[in-house]
């Protein structure tokens, strides 16, 4: 009996070490819903936490220190029927900077088209070959988005494998054109447009910006700040071409939602350099963040 228990514990430890790509904080916020049992939401939060953090999402082995730091926040605004919810989902992630204790933000994306049904204690299990539920598809899509964006910061187009899985998840969704989050026949930016634009050669500069900014810029800060800052500047300015393409503004905004504060800090602190061309590009890429770019001008 003791031997059996010992083997079970060892197996559990092995699975936890080998199957975790993410170190993800999960929050389910329900402040606007007053007519539901709060225990259901706690159960849901635990179920999502286990699903995200304990599923083996890739074929790669991640050491504990290599796990991607991220968060997923579901804000539920409305309950319709006995078990149908709607609201928003926000995903954020970061990755460590080489030779530093600093973590640089990679992704900060909010999707206002969250809707799903959930019955307390129903199992959440990802199946690469089949559609399971709206909740599972949504969570899986964003997990692979997080992993893909992280991979793009280390290798040029390194996230292809994971973005293709996002597309596969999208293709399996039941009646996608009846759902705002997935429908292709809309000019509003949604999950369909996000992954299609990421994978489209038309928007190559979006992904090369992520690669050059992080690997050639942030990871070089410890060795040569001026060279690293110049590489960051060049990477950011590459986004100007993306912002000028239809729906490119939305992609550029994804980058800036994660990076605006960091960019401001980089170019207002440390060794000084000419930033006139950078600031002009920033006003084009993210005009709504002008108050931040003004600080760089000063």
pLDDT tens digits, residue range 197-249?
999 999 999 999 999 999 999 999 999 999 999 999 999 999 999 999 988 89
The Cα–Cα gap between 287 and 256 comes to 11
Contacts for 259 with CB less than 8 Å, ≥ 6 apart:
105, 213
- pTM of the prediction? 0.92
CB 237 within 8 A of CB 278: yes
The pLDDT value recorded for residue 5 is 39
Confidence class for position 11, pLDDT limits 50, 70, 90: very low
Going from N- to C-terminal start, the domains of the chain cover: 18-199, 204-298
The Cα–Cα gap between 278 and 161 comes to 32
Q: What's the chain's Rg over C-alpha atoms? A: 21
The pLDDT value recorded for residue 142 is 98
Is the per-residue pLDDT at 43 higher than 70? yes
Is the per-residue pLDDT at 95 higher than 60? yes
């Amino acid at each position: 009996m003791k031997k059996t228990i010992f083997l079970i514990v060892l197996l559990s430890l092995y699975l936890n070490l080998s199957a975790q790509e993410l170190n993800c904080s999960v929050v389910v916020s329900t402040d606007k819903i007053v007519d539901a049992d709060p225990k259901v939401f706690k159960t849901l939060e635990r179920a999502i936490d286990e699903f995200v953090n304990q599923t083996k999402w890739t074929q790669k082995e991640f050491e504990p220190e290599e796990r991607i730091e991220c968060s997923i926040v579901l804000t539920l605004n409305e309950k319709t029927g006995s078990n149908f919810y709607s609201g928003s989902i926000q995903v954020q992630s970061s990755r460590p900077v080489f030779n530093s204790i600093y973590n640089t933000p990679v992704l900060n994306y909010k999707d206002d088209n969250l809707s799903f049904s959930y019955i307390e204690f129903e199992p959440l299990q990802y199946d690469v070959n089949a559609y399971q539920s709206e909740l599972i598809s949504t969570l899986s899509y964003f997990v692979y988005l997080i992993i893909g964006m992280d991979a793009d910061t280390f290798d040029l187009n390194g996230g292809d494998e994971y973005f293709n899985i996002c597309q596969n998840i999208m293709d399996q969704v039941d009646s996608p054109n009846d759902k705002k989050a997935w429908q292709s026949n809309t000019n509003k930016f949604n999950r369909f447009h996000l992954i299609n634009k990421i994978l489209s050669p038309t928007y190559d500069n979006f992904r090369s910006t992520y690669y050059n900014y992080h690997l050639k810029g942030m990871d070089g800060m410890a060795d040569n700040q001026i060279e690293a800052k110049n590489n960051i500047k060049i990477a950011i300015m590459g986004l100007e071409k993306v912002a000028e393409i239809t729906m490119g503004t939305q992609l550029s905004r994804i980058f800036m939602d994660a990076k605006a504060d960091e960019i401001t800090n980089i170019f207002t602190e440390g060794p000084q350099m000419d930033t006139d061309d950078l600031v002009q590009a920033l006003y084009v890429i993210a005009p709504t963040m002008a108050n931040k770019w003004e600080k760089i001008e000063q």
